[in-house]
Structure 1
């Protein structure tokens, strides 16, 4: 007879799905209104994402920690192989084609959970001292942060590369690093900024130029018009002309925030941002409960920072305050890669939270 262990209900974090599910439901409503075909595909992504969540939730991660370095280096090899065997789309070589089935995978997306797990593994093995990490330990950890950053930037995918870089160093900031190191980094970045700009690709410079110009690009102009037309309460489905007449570009993914405001107005935007804010605040607040569990702290902080960056960049570019870089809204923008990646991340996090007190038994007993 199979008996369910009730301890899973005691330690499972029910606030996470409470914040995430409304975002997913609202996303599906908007996508289905804009494009029924994409909505059906999104249902498939929901199913795959749910299976991915359950797989990593049930996986005995803490007992398999020793495999994490191998997982990290396999992903590094995948990133290296993109330069040799990669498939080009829209001028960028970011995908690998799976033989015989003609599906493609994006190693930079797979790298995100492997990257966070590797940081968690390294920090657990050598936790910071009272004053945080010294220069030697900082350089050691920086190697594992900068390596995937360089490989992803070469594809080129500067947006994803910068996200990983910021997440990695944000995690170190929360875990603890000597203050003098952060001051030195700020000075170095300020001095080297012109050199970094000159080494950008032409299309990346164009995005920055468009952002700094007095007149925003066509995409941003249409996004601002959609946002302004929504007013306080938004418009009925049939009157959302910016989206349904195809003036608003990529309305179901990159600019879905503008579409959300066109449909549901300022109140819709406030509700969405409030839900994201509560989710991020909740994740960061878990660090006080986790205390010296550095492994879970790294994963929790990394996911919270990842969501914050994605939301901040996406909304900023939608309203003209950041260059258009194609960063999706977590659980909200249409697409499989981002959705499944975040479901994997939350599956890992729920696993670490739920089974943090007893790692030797499964949550199901067979009698």
Structure 2
């Protein structure tokens, strides 16, 4: 059996992998410094993610494209099940427990790759006109964007829901929608925003916004700013990084890991990580223009770039006190299994779409049977 084909290797995007590896290695180094038990768990997530990457990479996604809508609706069903049989943690009902084995899954994470594939599928079925999509097509796309967004917002997980909506409409903006539609949407949002704040935003979410706009930041943000300020230009040794080592910095391995990065490696270290993210995002956007007629790859690479950019931006702005505190992890960097594995699967799908973008590359698969 021949599992490798030289055409696949030649089309594989090594640049993305080379940009992701230093993010992962630095993340593990910091997590292990703070808590070696969590570091060991993260290694397990790494192994699961590598296995998932290899499996997803070799799936004939382009040949199975007709099952994407089925997967999308299965994802919607899982989001609906959260409302009825979901598990509540930290005041939010976001997980479903798997019977017998007792593990939980988070449908809001599982839906992300399916969501991007579904948008690509829809664009493939109805490519944009020269001047962009009209209101009818835009309304159809909006339905598929807003349905999972509203279900996730109801959990409540407003941060993930907002990012998902921005990614979806951001993809449409790049693909092409008539300008008059965007103007109309802007007017509607401006009118409805006060009503949304009054009736849709939960009390704890309003408190986060109030903490953000108040003169005195919340305890979490204050400790984060202290950690960032103490790091200086080049950072401190692990023993001198007292904000994290003495547990003053909350959630130092997850939501506020960027603050610990700067405490350890200073402004230069933080700038270096942002530069790697920037190169990764620009590289993903490159596929949007270079393969402009391959709508599945175009949409998925654009959506993945926006997903990484928005999560990275919100997390970093939150850590430095320029955005409300929300539970959005730093992509591929914060501790945790669901988010990390999900991003690796997203990258695996992207690599699959790149490596198998020429149909004759699937010829090797026929020799397996």
Q: TM-score range by the shorter chain?
A: over 0.9
**Residue 238 (structure 2) pairs with residue 237 (structure 1):** yes
| CA distance in structure 2 between the aligned counterparts of 1:183 and 1:366, rounded to whole angstroms | 53
Asked whether the equivalents of residues 83 and 93 of structure 1 are also in contact (C-alpha less than 8 Å), the reply is yes
- Other-structure match for 1:37: 37
Q: Is 2:126 the counterpart of 1:126?
A: yes
- Counterpart position of 1:362: 364
Contact 2:163 2:307 in 1 (8 A): yes
Instruction: Give runs of aligned pairs for residues 86-235 of structure 1, distance below 5 A.
Output: 86-199=86-199, 200-235=201-236
| Per-residue Cα deviation, 1:106-128 (whole angstroms, up to 9, x for no partner) | 00000101111111111100010
Alpha-carbon RMSD: 1.3
TM-score, normalisation: structure 2? 0.97
Q: CA deviation at 1:362?
A: 3.2
Q: 2-side partners of 1:34 and 1:279: how far apart?
A: 27
Say whether the 8 Å CA contact 1:61–1:352 is kept in structure 2. Answer: yes
Q: Distance in 1 between matches of 2:91 and 2:3?
A: 54
CA contact (8 A) 1:5 1:364 kept: no
Which residue of 2 is the match for residue 339 of structure 1?
340
Separation in 2 of the partners of 1:364 and 1:34? 49
Residue 360 of structure 1: SS of its match in structure 2? helix
> Residues 257-316 of structure 1, C-alpha deviation per residue, up to 9 Å, x if partnerless?
000000000110111000000000000011222121111101000000000000100000
Q: Structure 2 unaligned runs (5+)?
A: none
TM superposition outliers: structure 1 runs of 4+ over 2 Å? 1-4, 362-367
Residue 150 of structure 1, CA deviation = 0.9
Q: Is the 8 A contact 2:68 2:117 kept in 1?
A: yes
Q: Note the 1:49-60 alignment, pairs <5 A.
A: 49-60=49-60
Q: Does 1:17 align with 2:17?
A: yes
Which whole-Å CA distance do the structure 1 matches of 2:187 and 2:79 have between them?
31
Q: Determine the structure 1 residue equivalent to 2:66.
A: 66
How far is 1:2 from its partner? 3.9
Structure 1: give runs of 5+ residues left out of the alignment.
Answer: none
Q: Does the alignment pair 1:270 with 2:285?
A: no
CA shift at 1:44, angstroms? 0.6
Secondary structure, aligned partner of 2:252: coil
- How far residue 5 of structure 1 moved from its aligned partner, in angstroms, is 1.7
| Partner in structure 2 of residue 80 of structure 1 | 80
Asked whether the equivalents of residues 2 and 364 of structure 1 are also in contact (C-alpha less than 8 Å), the reply is no
Query: In 2, distance between residues paired with 1:363 and 1:147?
Result: 36
Alpha-carbon deviations, 1:209-251, whole Å to 9, x = none?
0000000000000000000000000000110000000000000
User: Paired residues, what number?
Assistant: 367
Asked if 1 retains the 8 angstrom alpha-carbon contact of 2:2 and 2:364, the reply is no
Give SS of 1:62's match.
coil
Q: Alignment partner of 1:95: what SS?
A: strand
> Distance between the aligned counterparts of 2:122 and 2:308, measured in 1?
22
SS where residue 177 of structure 2 aligns?
A: coil
SS in 1 for 2:254: coil
**TM-score, normalised relative to structure 1:** 0.98
Query: 1:160 is paired with a residue of what secondary structure?
Result: helix
Cα distance in 2, alignment partners of residues 100 and 3 from structure 1: 35
